[in-house]
């Protein structure tokens, strides 16, 4: 990568670049000396997320919905565009599927025309409610194709199919990352994800909502670790296509997470139980052996440290009046 940068600065497109993950990726790519084109339709992304880099002369912002073709000249494409929280992707499920499928077709077509490498931000939802634990990349998944989460799960599965068909048919250099639960600053307060829910409820001393019995598990990866994994995957040799799991292999029960958030915030919140949502996976833990082997990557930030930084962010947003206290 360093040799390429010395020869010519790369021009990188990040779709969904004003979102939670996308904004951190744009910052990191700029820090590496690249030119960055951020495309976002601002359905879930915000200008606040990219405020710190709007003035950078190597950064360009384009309001664009990737369900429509995009005609630009780029060397690399990170396709992150798609609402990722159940509240947002279930708001307009047809559009969610279009974003995953039509968006993939449009971005793959752009990559084919320009000869760009392209990385698909896929998801652990590929595995559905898994029958094996932890989940490795060879597992095909257990997904309900007609449930309320299907627009996202099946949309992402179809996008992976398209990526590998372009690789087989056109020898397009592709990368597919299966992203597990990621958290950190800039998460949207209303996205319904467990970390943002718990942190805000704790900071407000409200009851913390536990769905089901709280024994279901997730594995939480801090955003900076995830971005490092994406960049290493993009910079890997052409024969490394993925899919590659990117996430933290340390598993936590929802009750453990709630107790940790209460302790870190010093909150007076109590636990409140609600029914488990339909098709909500009982367990989710990545096997990251492939990422360790191919990318020399594994998370470095512990859940306690990452939660502390996330809590500080939300507390600051509340102090500034950006979030209701």
Residue of 78, 89, 127, 152 marked catalytic: 152
Please state, as a whole number, how many other Cβ atoms lie within 10 Å of the Cβ of residue 74.
Answer: 21
CB-based burial of residue 115 (10 Å sphere; 0-12 exposed, 13-18 middle, 19+ buried)?
A: exposed
- Six token digits for residue 12: 């990188």
- Six token digits for residue 57: 């002369």
- Six token digits for residue 35: 């030119």
Q: Three-state secondary structure along the chain?
A: CHHHHHHCCCEEEEECCCCHHHHHHHHHHHHCCCEEEEEECCCCCCHHHHHHHCCCCCEEEEECCCCCCCCCCCCEEEECCCCCCHHHHCCCHHHHHHHHHHHHHHHHHHHHHHCCEEEEEEEHHHHECCCCCCECCCCCCECCCCCCCHHHHHHHHHHHHHHHHHHHHHCCCEEEEEECCEECCCCCCCCCCHHHHHHHHHHCCCCEEEECCCCCEEECEEHHHHHHHHHHHHCCCCCCCCCEEECCCCEEEHHHHHHHHHHHHCCCCCEEEECCCCCCCCCCCECCHHHHHHHCCCCCCCHHHHHHHHHHHHHHHHHCCCCCC
Q: Which of 325, 102, 318 is nearest to 206 (CA)?
A: 325
- Which residue's entry shows tokens 């512990």? 302
- 152 included as an active-site residue: yes
Instruction: State the catalytic residues.
Output: 152
């Amino acid at each position: 990568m360093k040799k390429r940068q010395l020869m010519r600065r790369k021009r990188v497109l990040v779709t969904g670049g004003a979102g939670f993950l996308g904004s951190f990726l744009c910052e990191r790519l700029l820090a590496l000396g690249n030119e960055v084109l951020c495309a976002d339709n601002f359905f879930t992304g915000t200008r606040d997320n990219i405020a710190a880099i709007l003035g950078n002369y190597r950064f360009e912002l384009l309001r664009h919905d990737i369900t429509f073709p995009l005609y630009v000249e780029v060397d690399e494409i990170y396709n992150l565009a798609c609402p990722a929280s159940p509240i947002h992707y279930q708001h307009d499920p047809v559009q969610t599927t279009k974003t995953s499928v039509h968006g993939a077709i449009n971005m793959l077509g752009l990559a084919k025309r320009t000869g760009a490498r392209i990385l698909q931000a896929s998801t652990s939802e590929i595995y559905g409610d898994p029958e094996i634990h932890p989940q490795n990349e060879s597992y095909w998944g257990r997904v309900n194709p007609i449930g309320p989460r299907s627009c996202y799960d099946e949309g992402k599965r179809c996008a992976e199919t398209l990526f590998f068909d372009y690789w087989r048919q056109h020898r397009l250099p592709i990368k597919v990352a299966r992203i597990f639960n990621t958290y950190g600053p800039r998460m949207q307060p209303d996205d319904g994800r467990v970390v943002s829910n718990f942190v805000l409820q704790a900071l407000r001393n409200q009851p913390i909502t536990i769905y089901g019995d709280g024994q279901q598990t997730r594995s939480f990866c801090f955003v900076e670790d995830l971005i490092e994994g994406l960049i290493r995957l993009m910079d890997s040799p052409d024969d490394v296509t993925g899919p590659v799991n990117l996430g933290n292999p340390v598993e936590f029960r929802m009750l453990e997470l709630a107790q940790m958030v209460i302790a870190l915030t010093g909150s007076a919140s109590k636990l409140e139980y609600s029914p488990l949502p339909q098709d909500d996976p009982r367990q989710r833990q990545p096997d990251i052996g492939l990422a360790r082997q191919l990318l020399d990557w594994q998370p470095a930030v512990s859940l306690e440290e990452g939660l502390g930084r996330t809590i500080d962010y939300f507390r600051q947003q509340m102090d500034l009046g950006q979030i209701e206290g």
